[in-house]
A and B are shown apart, each in its own frame.
Chain A
Amino acid sequence: MKKLIHRGRVVTTGLLAAFLLFVLPLAAQQSTPAGAKRITGKITAQNTGTAIGGATITVKGTRNSVQATENGDFSIMAAQGERLVITNVGYAQKEVTVGSSGVLNVLLSVDFNNMNDVIVVGYGKMKKTDLSSAVETISAEDLTRTVNTTIEDALIGRAANVYVTATSGQPGAGSSVIIRGVSTITGNPQALYVVDGVQIRPDPPAGGTYNQPAGYANQLAGINPDDIESISVLEGPAATSIYGAAGANGVLMITTKHGKAGATRLTAGSLLTLQDHPKFRPVMNLQEYANFTHRLQALGAASNVPAELGDPSILGPGTDWQSALFRRTLLQKHSFGVSGGSDKSTFYVSGDYLSQDGIAVGSGFKRGSVRINLDNQATKWMKFGINMSAFSTHEQVNTTNGNIINLAIAQNPTISVKNPDGSWGGPTQGQAQYALTNPIALANLDNDYNKSLGIIGGVYLDITPIKGLTWHSEANGNYTFTDNYVFNPSYTIGFLVNPNTTGSRTASNNWWASLNTRVQYDFKVKQHAISAMVGHEAQKYAYESLNGAGQNYSTNTVQELSVADPLTQTTTSSRGDGSQESYFARLGYIYANKYILQGVIRRDGSSNFGPDNRYGTFPSVSAAWKISEEPFMKQFSFIDDLKFRAEYGISGNTGNNGSAIYSNLYAVATPWGGGFLPANFPNPDLKWEQDKSTNLGFDLHMLNNRIEVIGDFYKKNISNLILVASGPEYLGGNLSGGYGGLLSWPTENYGGMTNKGFGITVNTVPVTTRDFQWRIGGNFSMDRNKVTRLVAPLLTQYQSWTNNTQAEFLTKVGQPLSMITGYVAQGLFQNYNDIKNHAIQTTSSSGTPQQIIDPLQGSWVGDVKFRDLSGPNGKPDGVIDQNDRTIIGNPWPKFTYNLNTSFSYKGFDLNIFFTGVYGNKLLNQTRYQNEMPLGAGVYSNHYKSVANFAVPSSTNAADALTAVLTNPGYKIPRVVANGDPNGNVRLTQWDVESGSYLKLKNVRLSYRVPGKYLQYAKIFRGITASIQAQNVFTITKYTGFDPEVGMFSYKGVTNIVGMDEGRYPSVRSYSASLNLEF
């Protein structure tokens, strides 16, 4: 023990020493050139005349640099004739020459579009104006405008052709981020994130009652969005191909904040958010439920109706389970940052604590993170640095993994949340067999959570032996430990007895590390600017997990396996690894600042492929023409900058199954000992996928940069697409085999896909005066996806929580990925002739179908009339069967659009952000289940609309000719006590709704206290207070909780889009925040 403490102390001392090493040079004296004198001055904004605080003033060609005070005053040693470079975020860079006077006042003009920004691209940086590829940038300012738990939340609506959907509103949950259309059929469609060189490809969000992941947060959830300086979204092929195989889905380059030379700056902020509950689903109250149950009983479809339901008229509203589950809760976030440094060393240290109580009982997310970014210019020719972030997250997932939201919608109102004695309310004896459990009790009793601890960071070394030549080496890595705890205790709730305690603990870790070295040489000869880079990178990743599970705990108070019944305990472990080695080169050439040409090539070798197919080469070429630099354009003086871009390149994909080339076996227990079964059909010939993209675009800046227009058109053609080559079941494969006697289909280079679309971004500053500024901007995107080649149509049957598999999603050639399929309902049968003259409604058999008009064995008045669309020969055949199942909804938007506008007046700033999606369809699975009479079981509640179920005038077979529908005009079919002879359960277009929406995503009003008031409290440099509302309103026809229904990965290999089954909703929230700068 003593030794441990000692070691801890050593580590602490070591860290402190390292920190001091970086900071100490702060105090070091700077040498002053001969003839230098003190120059003082003030920096003011040209348009408003107000002082600009914090600008950096550097003597050109030296490392002599100072920072202006809050009042814009500065003081620097410089000699006459030297040039001072003044830079400040949001203003155009300016150079002035030191004259004889000791006073130098500088006016800076607003740079509305940061034309001089340097953009982070793959393995390097580039001036924004020198780009020849489609790259979008998202600034820190954009990211912090909305209230975000994770980075992905912050990306919503910020860049064209980046389609972000929060698949679950579970706090901390990862989102689906798709850049330029989905690029895979059975793989991971997520973009690559490069966080200061650390490559992270988060797993796509998983979902579904029978497909729940242990946790919903991904590795990005550990990153504090406040630490981000900028995000570059690499979309064009010339930009992504430097990542070769990893770049196929687009790349998000995330750069964190670094310190700046000058005075040490402290910031501290707090945010408090009140989250509202969602709009509830319209289910029956007690009185309506009692009436409904009595009607079922009369039809022979309900027995054991509780006596207390006897007279509905005297009943109250009963239990409203949704309002019992959803609550108004708080999200709070506190953060601090310290940054500063000298001309040699800079530092940025920050931390945040975020705690979000979920709006549903039993859910929540907490994060604590710290970051240290240090940079040191050790000598004239050597620079090194380190960036490191450590985080801890805690994710409570009772609600999502206990299917609590669906239970709360479907639980009947006769049961109380709690009994008068304080115990949980449960079903009566008569209901016990099919009764649902008490969702609120479950949310409280279960204990299902994940704890993660992670480190992400890297070190680098730059050596510049001669001007323009940089030899850059870096080592990056991330390591995440995750502990998953599941404890579901035994309970007795009313007459519902669950005698089984089940629990498990899983400890897993995964890491990724890379080592890359590159040599970059930039030089300029007359009008020719050349930039060349070659590099090498080696990556390795691995994972391990250890799991123990047990049942029948001797007590519910100790949640450890030590008290589980030893005979029920199982342990298992697994691990795996993979590697990649790459060479890459980039050559850029700019002539006369007009013509830009760039070539990139990368060669990747991956452990995912066999020795013969291991390496793939990914080239790209791009060109740009700054037409505005041409003499003939000078007459159009209102154009500041106009650039046309064209690019072509090939990216790749390794697939996500490193073992597809092997014939894997998996262990299966037998009474004779451990056995092994084949896990998959191997494909030793698997090779690289090729994504060939073309991009045409332009950048236009005009009217003194007050209007910026960026447009891009792209086409991506994917060949040799790696997919799980599924076929008919008789071939014995399964989409997610490798367990339970199921073999996985082979992974093959069989598929093909095209994506095309365009995106346009417009940013304008319509009004700018001394005190008032109005900015408005937005983007518009269209992405079209089409599958061009497949082994066999890929049908994903979704298994809902009621075990229904009617929700089916079809991917076939000529269509976008994952279309919603179902039947077409034409109404309900009104009378005998209506049935007689219509197609036979079911094939409950093979052979020749027969029309049966019968209340028990066939079709009857009040049954759903399905449209006869097709038959075995492609023509309507008078029988409703699988041939009549058709595509009833395209879940992909026709276009998406976002609009952001801000008004600032003196210290006030009002920001309004709209986001919209148009033309997609959503499958409202929750409504489908709860609108079927008897659909979720006899003791379930239903939507209010179910009360309008069809009532035939007779259910006696003898009355077939005369029976009529007594309550026409509704869509709910009749109630059949035994079976569903007409197949009314089949999903139809009635359950598909428009997913278009326009959401006022955020409104924020902030006030920055003017400097003059701060003089009274000298310790503050700035105080900003804000109030904001998020998800203010949504204009939509969708009837579920929230139309923002994303894409999720189902059973590991297929992707389901636009299906809403008890999705954890995103809700309206109100926030207040205070940010202090010292």
Chain B
Amino acid sequence: MLKNIFITGLALGLLVLSGCKKSFLNRPPLSAPTAGTFYQTDADILNGTGPLYNASWDPYNGTAMEAIGDVLGGNSLTDDYNGRGAWLTFSIPATDGSIGGAYSAFWSVIANANVVAYNITNAGGGASKSAKNSGLAECRFMRAAAYYYLALDWGPVPIIYDNTVQLHDSTTHRNNLADVWKFIIIDLSWAKDNLPTATSQAGRVTRWSAEGMLARAYLVRSGLNGTNGQRNQSDLDSAKYWSADVCHNSGLTLLGNYYNLFTSKYFSGTTVPAECLFGLFWVPGGSYFVHNQLQSNLAYDPKITQTGDGWGGSFGASPSLMQYFLDPANSADSIRRKAIMFMPGDYYPDIDVADGGWHVDTTLFNNGKITAPGQSGQGGIDHAFVKKYVIGSPKDNGGLGGQQNENISTYMFRLSDVYLNYADAILGNSASTSDPEALNYFNSVRARAGIAPKTSITYSDIYEEKKIEFAFEGHQFYDWKMWYYFNPTAAMNYFSTQNRGNYNITYNAGHPFITYFGTDNKAIGTVTYNVTPATADLSYPESELLVAPNLTQPPVAFDFSKLPK
């Protein structure tokens, strides 16, 4: 009896225990698609590669880019906020925030490029082969671009071709620098063969972008392990060949007006000058990570941005940049000067339009009266503040933008760089050249700047031209490193004798000249800091070395057979 009731009860229970449907436990994410279901059409592939042009580069596009490219490169002054003065003195600690930002950004770009490439390779049937290849080529272009920076900043670095596979590979080591450059060249060669010559969406990289970058990579590699200032002729020839192809066959031209390159009117949203071979494309209305934050760090006065930022009073043109522009021989180079830095008396009608434009106050530069001083105790420093990428308030720029968010894109690689590289490749190992082709492209960069052509050029002419042409674009250190590859003595001597101190601008009958602070910050003099082979490469972030001690071991050869075919 008891037993029967028990069994009945149990049965009753089991009736209710009848489980859930199988689908009950199937809960894919609801807020966003997954890779398995997303990449189905050509349009999906474009949507998959589009963000490779912004978010991952974000930690680089700011203080890291300024610190490495321009402060370390000798184009920019800075104060000592958060210890960033170390970038002037070649004593950057492994704990520096900019090192960490750049390092993390480049590896994120590589990881994203690898994973997106994987997703495209496994994309659904709806996508065309050419769209897939073009998408893969964009991924490989991005990977090569990130490695370009990594190799020049840190030297030998590990080659990561498949993050998922390498995640648990404990044998990963740094790879020889020559192999890293080979890897970059392989990627760019593949990219040039698979990218279209023109894209439906302005700003995306094309075959010409890849060829220009490829030429630049060959040019850098030509100097690798160069002796006595001699570069490898075969690489120089390749550099010459691919730059020539861009110069002659791309149909691309420089934008007529240098100043306009750095305005939202010519370079924001989907408005992209033909000159831009590779850029980072920000979205003022998007989230924080797709905002261009350059201006907030660089603008010297919050009245310029009108969004509460404008913390750049401590940045400014370095003495070497000032020396160039104040040299009477270069007084004609005023178009670029105005686009690069704010000098007393200059007028910018496109900034603070509502108040009739921006007049750079001359009293600003009278010692002691400056409104936005540099940090602590450098007496009252004057300097010419940074203009490039400083574009004014949202109102001045189509109503778009906000704090740490300016309505302009960022140049990573411009056609004028290809022109100068072309001239450099032609110059090769000669002391100077008067090759018409070299002079033609070299002088076309100068012609736009409104300055006289040269009839014969040397390596240092090209170097100097790049210094000015790309000032505050995060280039200078990389160009220096290219030089250091094949002529370390000359390159180190250049930095070690470069004036890196503070200065005052004074006027003699209306003509400005500069006086320098010495080591005691008071006497007139020159401040220099030695660079050594030990400080020519950046150190790995300290936190990374704790997790990956293998980075301190000697680099090894990369087994190229591992690469997917």
Q: Do A517 and B313 form a contact, CB below 8 Å, given A567-B400, A872-B552, A980-B83?
A: no
Tell me if B344 is interfacial: C-beta within 8 Å of chain A.
no
Tell me if A937 is interfacial: C-beta within 8 Å of chain B.
yes
Tell me if B111 is interfacial: C-beta within 8 Å of chain A.
yes
Check B9–A469 contact: CB distance below 8 A. Answer: yes
Q: Give the contacts of B80-105 with A (CB-CB under 8 A).
A: 80-83, 85-86, 88-95, 97, 100, 103-105
> Which one of B29, B204, B374 has the highest number of Cβ atoms from chain A below 10 Å of its Cβ?
B29
> Which residues from A are CB-within-8-Å of B47?
673-676
Q: Give the contacts of A976-999 with B (CB-CB under 8 A).
A: 977-981, 983, 985-986
Interface stretch, picked from B418-426, B437-445, B453-461, B527-535, is B527-535
Check A575–B399 contact: CB distance below 8 A. Answer: no
Out of A299, A678, A804, name the residue touching B116 (CB < 8 Å). A678
The interface bits of chain A over 373-407 (1 if a CB of B lies within 8 angstroms of the residue's CB, else 0) are 00000000000000000000000000000000000
Check B111–A743 contact: CB distance below 8 A. Answer: yes
Q: Do A577 and B27 form a contact, CB below 8 Å, given A433-B372, A497-B302?
A: yes
> Which one of A502, A666, A806 has the highest number of Cβ atoms from chain B below 10 Å of its Cβ?
A666
Check B535–A844 contact: CB distance below 8 A. Answer: yes
Q: Do A668 and B54 form a contact, CB below 8 Å, given A534-B17, A678-B115, A731-B160?
A: yes
Q: List the count of A-B residue pairs having beta carbons below 8 Å apart.
A: 403
Check A882–B13 contact: CB distance below 8 A. Answer: no
> Which residues from B are CB-within-8-Å of A429?
371
Nearest CB of A to B149, in Å:
13
Check B302–A846 contact: CB distance below 8 A. Answer: no
Tell me if A158 is interfacial: C-beta within 8 Å of chain B.
no
Out of B81, B163, B311, name the residue touching A731 (CB < 8 Å). B163
Closest to A541 in B: B27
> Which residues from A are CB-within-8-Å of B28?
659, 662
Nearest CB of A to B151, in Å:
13
Closest to A743 in B: B111
Out of B46, B290, B533, name the residue touching A669 (CB < 8 Å). B290
Check B93–A498 contact: CB distance below 8 A. Answer: no
Out of B2, B35, B281, B529, name the residue touching A678 (CB < 8 Å). B35
Check A579–B107 contact: CB distance below 8 A. Answer: no
Check A303–B13 contact: CB distance below 8 A. Answer: no
Nearest CB of B to A382, in Å:
14
Check B377–A302 contact: CB distance below 8 A. Answer: yes
Tell me if A962 is interfacial: C-beta within 8 Å of chain B.
no
Q: Give the contacts of A915-960 with B (CB-CB under 8 A).
A: 934, 937-938, 957
Tell me if A98 is interfacial: C-beta within 8 Å of chain B.
no
Out of B5, B30, B203, name the residue touching A575 (CB < 8 Å). B30
Tell me if B229 is interfacial: C-beta within 8 Å of chain A.
no
Check B376–A296 contact: CB distance below 8 A. Answer: yes
Nearest CB of B to A723, in Å:
13
> Which residues from B are CB-within-8-Å of A336?
none
The interface bits of chain A over 514-544 (1 if a CB of B lies within 8 angstroms of the residue's CB, else 0) are 0001110100000000000011101010000
Tell me if A313 is interfacial: C-beta within 8 Å of chain B.
no
For the complex, give the distance between the alpha carbons of A14 and B288 in Å.
Answer: 50
For the complex, give the distance between the alpha carbons of A471 and B290 in Å.
Answer: 58
> Which residues from A are CB-within-8-Å of B201?
672
Out of B111, B283, B543, name the residue touching A795 (CB < 8 Å). B543
Q: Do A728 and B547 form a contact, CB below 8 Å, given A567-B285, A663-B35, A740-B55?
A: yes
Out of A465, A536, A676, A810, name the residue touching B51 (CB < 8 Å). A676
Check A741–B25 contact: CB distance below 8 A. Answer: no
Q: Do A607 and B27 form a contact, CB below 8 Å, given A741-B55, A978-B80?
A: yes
Q: Give the contacts of A666-700 with B (CB-CB under 8 A).
A: 666-679, 681-682
Q: Do A670 and B373 form a contact, CB below 8 Å, given A300-B378, A570-B285, A577-B30?
A: no
Check B81–A668 contact: CB distance below 8 A. Answer: no
Q: Give the contacts of B18-58 with A (CB-CB under 8 A).
A: 19-20, 24-36, 38, 46-58
Q: Give the contacts of B272-321 with A (CB-CB under 8 A).
A: 281, 283, 285-290, 302, 306-308, 311, 313-314
Check B91–A842 contact: CB distance below 8 A. Answer: yes
Closest to B18 in A: A536
Check A534–B13 contact: CB distance below 8 A. Answer: yes
Interface stretch, picked from A631-639, A848-856, A1023-1031, is A848-856
Tell me if B346 is interfacial: C-beta within 8 Å of chain A.
no
Check A667–B32 contact: CB distance below 8 A. Answer: yes
Check A732–B25 contact: CB distance below 8 A. Answer: no
> Which residues from B are CB-within-8-Å of A727?
167, 547-548
> Which residues from B are CB-within-8-Å of A850?
532, 534
For the complex, give the distance between the alpha carbons of A957 and B534 in Å.
Answer: 21
> Which one of A301, A606, A725, A979 has the highest number of Cβ atoms from chain B below 10 Å of its Cβ?
A979
For the complex, give the distance between the alpha carbons of A118 and B82 in Å.
Answer: 61
Q: Do A668 and B290 form a contact, CB below 8 Å, given A300-B376, A674-B47, A795-B543?
A: yes
Out of A575, A606, A676, name the residue touching B25 (CB < 8 Å). A606
Check B521–A668 contact: CB distance below 8 A. Answer: no
> Which residues from A are CB-within-8-Å of B509?
none
For the complex, give the distance between the alpha carbons of A264 and B5 in Å.
Answer: 39
Closest to B26 in A: A607
Tell me if A845 is interfacial: C-beta within 8 Å of chain B.
yes
Tell me if B494 is interfacial: C-beta within 8 Å of chain A.
no
Q: Do A681 and B399 form a contact, CB below 8 Å, given A303-B376, A433-B311, A672-B50?
A: no
The interface bits of chain A over 551-573 (1 if a CB of B lies within 8 angstroms of the residue's CB, else 0) are 11000000000000001101001
Q: Give the contacts of A256-300 with B (CB-CB under 8 A).
A: 296-297, 299-300
The interface bits of chain A over 710-733 (1 if a CB of B lies within 8 angstroms of the residue's CB, else 0) are 000000000000000111111111
Check B83–A844 contact: CB distance below 8 A. Answer: no
Q: Do A567 and B85 form a contact, CB below 8 Å, given A303-B373, A671-B203?
A: no
Check B270–A671 contact: CB distance below 8 A. Answer: yes
Closest to A611 in B: B26
> Which one of A578, A726, A847 has the highest number of Cβ atoms from chain B below 10 Å of its Cβ?
A847
Out of A578, A583, A733, name the residue touching B163 (CB < 8 Å). A733
Out of A471, A497, A803, name the residue touching B9 (CB < 8 Å). A471
Out of A302, A490, A669, name the residue touching B287 (CB < 8 Å). A669
> Which residues from B are CB-within-8-Å of A300?
376-379, 520-521
> Which residues from A are CB-within-8-Å of B160?
730-732
> Which residues from A are CB-within-8-Å of B373?
303-304, 430, 433
The interface bits of chain B over 371-395 (1 if a CB of A lies within 8 angstroms of the residue's CB, else 0) are 1111111111000000000000010
Nearest CB of B to A192, in Å:
20
The interface bits of chain A over 845-887 (1 if a CB of B lies within 8 angstroms of the residue's CB, else 0) are 1111110000011100000000000001000000001110100
Tell me if A792 is interfacial: C-beta within 8 Å of chain B.
yes
Nearest CB of B to A820, in Å:
14
Check A303–B5 contact: CB distance below 8 A. Answer: no
**Chain B residues close to A by CB (< 8 Å):** 2, 5-6, 8-10, 12-13, 16-17, 19-20, 24-36, 38, 46-58, 80-83, 85-86, 88-95, 97, 100, 103-105, 107-112, 114-116, 119, 154-155, 157-158, 160, 163-164, 166-168, 172, 201, 203-204, 269-270, 281, 283, 285-290, 302, 306-308, 311, 313-314, 371-380, 394, 399-400, 402-403, 409, 519-521, 529-530, 532-549, 551-553
Of the A-B pairs whose beta carbons lie under 8 Å apart in the complex, a sample of 9, sorted by A's number, is A303-B376, A519-B13, A536-B17, A659-B28, A671-B281, A672-B50, A795-B543, A844-B92, A849-B534
CB-CB nearest 6 A-B residue pairs: A732-B111, A741-B56, A741-B55, A669-B286, A519-B13, A728-B548
**Chain A residues close to B by CB (< 8 Å):** 296-297, 299-304, 429-430, 432-434, 465-466, 469, 471, 473, 490, 497-500, 502, 517-519, 521, 534-536, 538, 540, 551-552, 567-568, 570, 573-581, 583, 605-607, 611, 614, 658-659, 662-679, 681-682, 725-734, 739-743, 746, 791-795, 797, 802-806, 808, 810, 821, 842-850, 856-858, 872, 881-883, 885, 934, 937-938, 957, 977-981, 983, 985-986
New A-B pairs, 15, CB < 8 Å, besides A658-B27, A677-B116, A977-B376: A296-B376, A300-B520, A521-B6, A521-B10, A536-B17, A551-B402, A568-B285, A573-B31, A579-B27, A668-B54, A728-B548, A739-B289, A741-B109, A885-B546, A979-B85
